[in-house]
């Protein structure tokens, strides 16, 4: 294969990598990786540990801890972390246009979504920016591998 053929193959591979179907396949592959799934879920956990939902609203605004429970926890920050079981239920589902985070919000007999709102599950603008920065090198590496695959 001559140099010109290699260049044309590179261009063809690049076109495939950036086509709609190529991007969908890439994102499905990347989002299916355990370390990426874990990172995304950890971003949601971090928000909760900081006492905020995906809209940046403080969870204590909905229902603050009682003073006795706050003393027991050593903090007034509502983080929905009782035994860790709730956090352990978080999962990432890869869907057609991205992903969704799901969790068993009824784990303690009452639905946390009813008390603290549906936005306890999901990523804030800041977390999405962290995710973008995390994914950039992974995406670049993926595309580089795809376009140089036949060279």
Q: Is the pLDDT of residue 133 over 70?
A: yes
Residue 150 is predicted with a pLDDT of: 54
Q: pTM for the whole thing?
A: 0.84
Contact call for residues 138 and 35 (beta carbons, < 8 A): no
Q: 72-107 as b/e, with b when 16 or more CB fall inside 10 Å?
A: eeeeebbbbeeeeebbeebebeeeeeebebebebeb
pLDDT in tens, 69-126: 778 878 888 888 888 999 999 999 999 889 999 999 998 888 999 999 999 999 999 9
Residue 13 is predicted with a pLDDT of: 73
Q: Is the pLDDT of residue 140 over 70?
A: yes
C-alpha closest to that of 123 among 96, 140, 98 = 98
Dig out the tokens for 38 from the structure.
């874990």
Dig out the tokens for 134 from the structure.
């995390």
Residue 151 is predicted with a pLDDT of: 52
C-alpha closest to that of 103 among 94, 92, 114 = 92
Average pLDDT over residues 55-66: 82
4 — pLDDT class (breaks 50, 70, 90)? low
pLDDT in tens, 17-35: 677 677 888 999 999 999 9
């Amino acid at each position: 294969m001559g140099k010109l053929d290699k260049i044309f193959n590179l261009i063809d591979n690049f076109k495939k990598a950036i086509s709609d179907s190529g991007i969908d396949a890439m994102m499905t592959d990347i989002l299916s990786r355990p370390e990426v799934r874990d990172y995304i879920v950890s971003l949601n956990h971090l928000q909760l540990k900081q006492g905020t939902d995906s809209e940046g609203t403080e969870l204590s605004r909905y229902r603050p801890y009682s003073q006795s429970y706050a003393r027991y926890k050593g903090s007034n920050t509502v983080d929905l972390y009782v035994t860790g079981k709730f956090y352990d239920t978080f999962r990432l589902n890869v869907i057609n246009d991205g992903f969704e985070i799901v969790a068993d919000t009824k784990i303690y007999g009452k639905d946390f979504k009813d008390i603290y709102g549906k936005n306890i599950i999901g990523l804030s603008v800041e977390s999405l920016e962290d995710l973008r920065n995390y994914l950039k090198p992974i995406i670049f590496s993926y595309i580089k591998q795809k376009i140089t695959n036949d060279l």
